């Protein structure tokens, strides 16, 4: 069964600190992995997409890594800001099927002043 597990479920950090969110998946055959940011009451917004051959991808203060051998990904947030408070969702795509996206349940990040 294709699954995406994210940890921690929730996280509280102080403004300016760094943090790392984890994503483990059992999806096969793997096509790509995406990280989305979802503000409360809004739709998810894409941060990064990584294919099998990509180990790291950055988007501003967000850096995603992918280890396709261990089926793990992480999202590192540098110098956190209050606006980073949101849920971060890991999504894995199976092969090239347009239906075949498996969503994690997200990590709820709260950045405090």
Partner 1 sequence: SQTIHQWPATLVQPVGSPLSLECTVEGTSNPNLYWYRQAAGRGLQLLFYSVGIGQISSEVPQNLSASRPQDRQFILSSKKLLLSDSGFYLCAWSPTPGASNQPQHFGDGTRLSIL
106 interacts with partner 1 by CB under 8 A: yes
Number of residues that bind partner 1 (CB under 8 A): 27
Task: Please identify which residue in 8, 95, 110, 112 interacts with partner 1, judged by CB under 8 A.
Answer: 95
CA distance 75 to 57: 10
Largest CA distance in the chain: 42
The residue among 15 and 24 lying less far from partner 1, judged by its C-beta, is 24
CA distance 11 to 13: 7
The residue among 42 and 61 lying less far from partner 1, judged by its C-beta, is 42
Task: Please identify which residue in 30, 44, 80, 88 interacts with partner 1, judged by CB under 8 A.
Answer: 44
b/e 39-56 (16+ beta carbons within 10 angstroms → b): eeeeebeebbbbeeeeee
Which positions lie near partner 1, rule CB under 8 A? 4, 9, 31-32, 34, 41-46, 49, 51, 89, 93, 95-106
């Amino acid at each position: 069964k294709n699954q995406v597990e994210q940890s921690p479920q929730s996280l509280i950090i102080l403004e300016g600190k760094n943090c790392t969110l984890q994503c483990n998946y059992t999806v096969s055959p793997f096509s790509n992995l995406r990280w989305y940011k979802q503000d409360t009451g809004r739709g998810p917004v894409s941060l990064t997409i990584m294919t099998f051959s990509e180990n790291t991808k950055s988007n501003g203060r967000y850096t995603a890594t992918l280890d396709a051998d261990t089926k793990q990904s992480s999202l590192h947030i540098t110098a956190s800001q209050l606006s980073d408070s949101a849920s971060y969702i890991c999504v894995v795509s199976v092969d090239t099927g347009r239906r075949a996206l498996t969503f994690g349940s997200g990590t709820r990040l709260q950045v405090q002043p």
